[in-house]
Amino acid sequence: DESMVTVLPVLGAKAKSELSFFERQECALDTRAQCVVAREHRVRIEKMANAVKGKDVGPRTLEEFRTALIHRYGNLVQAWRIALDPDDNGRVSFQEFTAACRGMHYSGNIKKLWAELDKDRSGLITMSEFAPAAQAAMSRFRALLIERFGNPLKAWLQAFRDDGHARVREDEFVKKVADLGW
């Protein structure tokens, strides 16, 4: 009906026949209601995101990241093996590293953290870059085992697995390491 006039704040007064498809869509009650609901939804999401940012307590620095890893895994060697280098190839790519950072809820700049760790700029992080003191201790221990037994496997079989079991309890391991003079 040409006599029906739709009044919109943006469009002014026009006969329905003069409205374009999109203008008619804007006039529809459902569309306007959907726009209101969508606007309210965006505001709620934004408020929730701001609340989460305010509560963001994940590690933000290299030291905090290492501390969080120790808290979760017990020490940096375990963290390296479980979280950072799960494929056990001795190197961590940027992709593996970002996955580990997300898993630890790292809230700092991941690229900056990577740059701090990849000291030789090789594009890979090694244990000696990630935890140099732990790597040095493991290297010295390995050298002791090689000196005394020829290789780590022989050391395991002769010094640690002397009762024939495949596993050694932690307290037994600590005692046997002390017996070796470590």
pLDDT band at 160 (very low <50, low <70, confident <90, very high): confident
Q: Are strands 5-8 and 91-93 parallel, antiparallel or unpaired?
A: unpaired
Query: φ and ψ at 94, to 5 degrees?
Result: -60, -40
Nearest to 64 by CA among 114, 106, 119, 93: 106
**101 against 168, higher pLDDT:** 101
Model confidence at 34, pLDDT cuts 50, 70, 90, reads confident
Backbone φ and ψ for 125, nearest 5 degrees, come out as -110, 135
**Do 19 and 6 contact (CB within 8 A), yes or no?**
yes
Residue 90 vs residue 45, higher pLDDT: 90
Best-predicted range by mean pLDDT (13-27, 42-56, 97-111, 156-170): 97-111
Question: Is residue 44 classed as helix, strand or coil in its secondary structure?
Answer: helix
pLDDT at 145: 94
Arithmetic mean of pLDDT, 167-173: 89
Dist. CA 68–CA 139, nearest whole Å:
25
Is-contact 91 126, C-beta < 8 A?
yes
pLDDT at 23: 77
Tokens of 134: 């732990």
Q: Is the pLDDT confidence value at 20 over 90? A: no
Please report, for residues 73, 117, 127, 162, 180, the alpha-carbon distance to residue 76 in angstroms, rounded to integers and kept in the order given.
7, 14, 9, 29, 24
Q: Look at residue 56 in the predicted model and tell me its pLDDT.
A: 60
pLDDT digits (tens, 9 = 90+) for 107-139: 999 999 999 999 999 999 999 999 999 999 999
User: Burial letters for 121-130: b for 16+ Cβ neighbours within 10 Å, e otherwise?
Assistant: eeebbbbbbb
